[in-house]
Chain A
Amino acid sequence: MMRRRILTVAGIAIFGCLTLMQAQRSYMPFHDDDDSPAPLPYDANEKTEWAFARLIYPSGRFYGTRGYATIDSPKADRQFSLGVRRLTRIHTRSKEEYISLDGDEVFKWPWLYAVETGHWTLTDDNCKKLREYLLRGGFLMTDDFHGTDEWEVFLSGMSRIFPDRAIVEIENSDAIFHVLYDLDERVQVPGLVNYPFHKTFEKDGVVPHWRAIYDDRGRIMVAMCFNQDNGDAWEWADSPRYPEKYASQAFRMGINYIIYSMTH
């Protein structure tokens, strides 16, 4: 009897919590539709010079629903591609491309974006493939990972890709901050979870970092946007509730990274 009562109370408590969580979510002024299939652009299959290539890597499940690699996609990818098309002369495809590390497909996409890399669980083959890709001239932008714990997870993967190369802070004078837009003054780009953006950091990732791994000729191979969430900024740039200054910087940063990867 006692046992049944405890189970009933616990069940009500759990239900209440879930209801509360859902209720809180509904109060957010955003519709988290990034995992909803967006309408396919009419020119989705156009053959272009550049397309948003999103790296699909092994990871756990985000809220038990899907892998971390596709967070914010496809809306962030397509909205950012719109920006690249509008603001530069890069011949840009409207639809993103998901790139796995299985096979050699990755070598056809010299610019890669990886989100939530604080959750990746790369295999040895993945590490080997990424290393080869980067040494041959590929470029990897990582984004949306925060705090000490996620950095450690990221590092555990990256140190297997490049055990012999240091991760360093990118100097302000580096071409990557000037190739198109001058980005000497940078702010922390917050994710959606920070709404209403009284604070812009997540976990203990208070200070944003722009870090990189360079090749032997001083060219950036891996650019890490640590303690920032440019993906959310791209995704919600169309919302009046997402601050313009963060969205602008995210677009400029992403475009600079692309043009850098096409020029260095």
Chain B
Amino acid sequence: MFEFFFKYPATVFSKGQFVLLSAWPAWVLGLAIIAIAVGLGWNIRQRRGFLTGTRPVAIWLLETLLAALLLFLLWHPAISIATLRPQQNIVSVLIDDSRSMSLKEDGKTRLEQATSGLNGGVLDGLRKRFQVRLYRFGKDAERIDKTDKLTGAAPASRLGDSITAALADSSTLPLGAIVLLSDGADNSGGIDRNTIAQIRQRQIPIHTIGFGKEKVDRDVEISEVTLPARTLADARLAAEVTFRNFGYAGQKAKISVRDAGKVLATQEVTLKGEGSPQTEQVQFNAGIAGAKSYQFLIEPLAGESNTANNAVTRLVNVEGAKPRILYIEGEPRWEFKFIRRAVEDDRSLRLSTMLRTTQNKIYYQGFEDKKETEEGFPAKPEELFKFAGLVIGDVEANYFTPTQQELIREFANRRGGGVLFLGGRETLSDGGYQRSPLNELLPVKLLDRKDTFHRDPAKFELSPQGRDNIICRFDEHADRNVERWKKMPVLADFQEVGDAKPGAVVLAELNASGKRKSPYRPYARDVLGAVIALAGERLAGPRDGVDAENRARRRDQSSTSRRGAGQKLQTAV
């Protein structure tokens, strides 16, 4: 109806701009209307005759409105609308060529629906008025001349990148609009704010045509997998797998990680709320060195409509180089031996140790270059920075010179090295660290007193953060891992520390009889380095090092304590 009367649809008018086409300015119109209103008023006042009450006012008002309308029309009012000029503007048509477009719905794939629509008159209609550029896109946008080049086989659809590429391709041309045909299944992280801002800046309208159902009846889809791009051989990796489900809430699903078809880990999960993203951590062993393509798969569920979106692959560079770790120990201790044994079994690390056996003698192990053992603890960046991790055992702060203390701080802050503090009777609070530059590195506040080290049994409990953190994982399955922690032997000694500093994560807490709960394994990762303090630590038990080893092995045929030691050092790297 609106169009019948006003020729154009209401949307056109809403987008248009009102203008007066008369050469005379608009203020003259206003002035003329006022002048006529005044003149008419004066005239009626002089000649009102028998008219009384409101009648002369109403007559004046009607006359004034009529005169104002006539004057307004004399000023030639109009609506100005921007419109594309035939054959002088370009319209880019982007067609999603990803695998999800090959899904069949109502007897036709989404891609077939798109092409039949385009070839059924849409393209011809566009070409009559505009120059049309066809693109297919998956990971990248690619110009095509006909729709028969579409295959529906691209592994991903990057909407943002593809629109940006199409805009860039026509940056010097009068691009009038973009028509985007897609099912919207973007599995490459969506469109970021920068891309949206970039598109908005060009002021190009994007017309979207969607395919597929807005809501899938029964489906599970992995939308994202995040894990480090590089790691060490034999290291444990924690992948965050994000997925969503439709129609399976409350049911169990199995996530598996595969490398070249070999299953590395599986994890059973309970599917949560319908359609909402759910993230689970899956841990697995990186295996031997090389470029790895890990496949993350949610095993298809009964009645699932689309199984093509159940898997995602990620590339990880598993480095063969064995980073070196420097471990300085202030006195012979049993865990020293068991840490060394743990790292001997670790294919991804090399451990160089300095042990103060007497007041004036250091016993070096794991140093191939004898020159490295001539001057004691490194005093120059080039000497210390060749190591990727540093373990500080029962060493008092003053054993290090001010230069060395500053160097250790730089090691974490500038080099990005990991530092692990083991605790002991002459270190942390008992070693004066609270008054040294090294205090800054520690993720816990140190108590300002001595006698914080106790050779008494203590039990540790995983914190909620520790439960999910890879440092505390001995088992791929979270529940089994917690059980293994509960069965771990008690620590035979521990050290009291203060609260965790802001930003630090407490992975476990110590519970010693008669003592307050103390953070154990606080962990902080700043911009570069990782710093861990073990506020009570016996990697293999204290004077009962053998016992801890024994109990760990007897329980599950593997050495949990040793594995824990290796894992901590890997984390430090």
Contact = CB atoms under 8 A, between A and B. Distances in A.
Contact of A107 (B340, B353, B363, B550): B550
Given A108-B546, A263-B340, A49 B358 contact: no
Contacts of A261: 337
Interface string B524-562: 000000000000000011111111011001000000000
Report which residue of B363, B455, B540 has the largest number of chain A beta carbons within 10 angstroms of its beta carbon. B363
Interface in A221-264: 258-259, 261-264
Contacts of B365: 263
A110 B334 contact: yes
Report which residue of B365, B541, B550, B553 has the largest number of chain A beta carbons within 10 angstroms of its beta carbon. B550
Report which residue of B331, B541, B547 has the largest number of chain A beta carbons within 10 angstroms of its beta carbon. B547
B332 interface: yes
A261 B550 CA distance: 17
Contacts of B361: 180
B358 A263 contact: no
B338 interface: yes
A179 B363 contact: yes
A107 B334 CA distance: 13
A89 B455 contact: no
Contacts of B363: 179-180, 259, 263
Interface string B350-378: 00010111110101010000000000000
Given A136-B553, A137-B337, A110 B546 contact: yes
Q: How large is the interface on B (under 10, 10 to 19, 20 to 34, 35 or more residues)?
A: 20 to 34
A88 B358 contact: yes
A36 interface: no
Contacts of A32: none
Contacts of A132: 550
B331 A264 contact: no
B357 A110 contact: no
A108 B544 contact: yes
A262 B333 contact: yes
A104 B489 CA distance: 14
A91 interface: yes
Nearest to B493: A47
B331 A49 contact: yes
B520 interface: no
Contacts of A108: 541, 543-544, 546-547
B425 interface: yes
Report which residue of A49, A51, A133 has the largest number of chain B beta carbons within 10 angstroms of its beta carbon. A49
A51 B455 CA distance: 14
Contacts, number: 90
Given A261-B337, A263-B355, A137 B332 contact: no
B546 A179 contact: no
A49 B334 contact: yes
Contacts of B544: 107-110
Given A89-B359, A179-B357, A262-B336, A137 B341 contact: yes
A87 B361 CA distance: 11
B4 to A, nearest CB: 95
Given A180-B358, A262-B337, A263-B365, A136 B546 contact: yes
Report which residue of A47, A138, A259, A262 has the largest number of chain B beta carbons within 10 angstroms of its beta carbon. A262
Given A89-B358, A136-B553, A49 B547 contact: no
Contacts of B357: 88-89, 179-180, 259
B555 to A, nearest CB: 13
A90 interface: yes
Contacts of A133: 546, 550
Contacts of B359: 89
A108 B356 CA distance: 24
Interface string B431-445: 000000000000000
Contacts of A22: none
Given A179-B363, A180-B363, A49 B333 contact: yes
Contacts of B176: none
B330 interface: yes
A48 B333 contact: no
A15 to B, nearest CB: 51
Contacts of A107: 544, 546-547, 550
Contacts of B338: 137
A28 B88 CA distance: 123
Contacts of B356: 89
A264 B543 CA distance: 15
Nearest to A46: B455
Contacts of A138: 546
A217 interface: yes
B336 A263 contact: yes
Given A107-B550, A258-B332, 15 more contacts: A51-B543, A87-B358, A109-B546, A110-B543, A132-B550, A133-B546, A137-B341, A137-B540, A138-B546, A179-B357, A179-B363, A180-B357, A217-B344, A259-B357, A262-B334
Lowest 6 CB-CB distances: which A-B pairs, in order? A47-B455, A108-B544, A107-B547, A89-B331, A262-B332, A110-B546
Interface of A: 47-51, 87-91, 104, 107-110, 132-133, 136-138, 179-180, 217, 258-259, 261-264
11 contacts: A50-B332, A51-B543, A88-B358, A89-B330, A89-B358, A107-B547, A109-B543, A137-B546, A261-B337, A262-B336, A263-B363
